[in-house]
Amino acid sequence: MSSLAGCPLCETPGGAVVFEGHGFRVVRAQEPNLPAFWRLIWTAHAREFSDLPAADRHRVVDALVCIEEVVRARLQPTKVNIASLGNVVPHLHWHVIARFDWDTHFPSPVWCEAQRAPDADRLAQLSARCDQADALIAQALAAAQPDQTAF
Amino acid sequence: MSSLAGCPLCETPGGAVVFEGHGFRVVRAQEPNLPAFWRLIWTAHAREFSDLPAADRHRVVDALVCIEEVVRARLQPTKVNIASLGNVVPHLHWHVIARFDWDTHFPSPVWCEAQRAPDADRLAQLSARCDQADALIAQALAAAQPDQTAF
């Protein structure tokens, strides 16, 4: 199916759109304490990663790596987390999150309880660099994927 | 580097080995309340997924999907979770976890707080089916990857 009535990721962007095309969109999650948090959302409603044909799966993974490479180069995170969970919203989406040893949740996953209070100064600096990363991610994805058929 | 002194995933299997070859091993995590929990661990010490060449990344993803397909067919989970975090052990590994709406943590990620007590009867049934799934995963990975160079 291409879209599912009532599915939040069929009916809303799921974040601030950074790139759209080639069967998916990349958004930045609007998490004030975790600004370096991107999502790749498959446009059509699919439940599991294995529901996609192999070529589409490789396209998704190449895009995740493209995001990771920009994030590593621009933000120098302690670690990058990549995950497709979907227990609450079972529409295929991947999280790419740059983690820092000072962030509110490190080393726990971002979905668990916070470990410490936010560091306002570092968050402000990181947020500004994430805005720059957004533009670079959009450029890199557009350059890597000049059109849908030749991807 | 091929291995790192002091790295738990360089020095220990990281679970019960289900398959080994082609640059990685698949293990089953020894989590009594979450038996349907596999890990794909890259053999050589690598930190981030983007440290791997594209061919190796695609090989990893094809193997993850292979595991997911066996898991979906044999266990009919509510949802499959796939994740590479590594905040605590930064040696590249991917979790593939079959989730059930009755499991201790659903819908939370398995790393967060439990939501309910374990269901002993369902866990016993699931564990037996996971043992069967182990064998099928090993077969499927071996069949999909007849040798290291031709993968």
Instruction: Report A:22-51 residues touching B (Cβ under 8 A).
Output: 47-50
Query: For chain B, what's the residue count?
Result: 151
* CB B114 within 8 Å of CB B105: yes
Q: What is the pLDDT of residue B7?
A: 96
- Cα radius of gyration rounded to whole Å, chain B: 15
Give whole-number Cα distances, A99 to A17, A58, B147, in Å: 21, 24, 36
| Among B42, B78, B79, B137, the residue to mutate for chain A (most A Cβ within 10 A) | B79
Is the confidence at residue A149, as pLDDT, over 80? Answer: no
* CB B111 within 8 Å of CB A112: yes
* Residue A141: closest CA among A53, A56, A54, A40: A40
Helical residues (DSSP H) of chain A, grouped into ranges:
8-11, 54-75, 120-144
Q: What is the pLDDT of residue B122?
A: 98
Tokens 């490190």 belong to which residue? A106
Q: What is the pTM of this model?
A: 0.95
Query: For chain A, what's the residue count?
Result: 151
- Lowest-confidence segment of A9-23, B17-31, B135-149 by average pLDDT: B135-149
* pLDDT confidence band for A61 (50 / 70 / 90): very high
Cα–Cα dist B36/B70, whole Å: 11
Q: Does B89 touch chain A (CB under 8 A)?
A: no
Contact (CB<8Å) B108/A87: yes
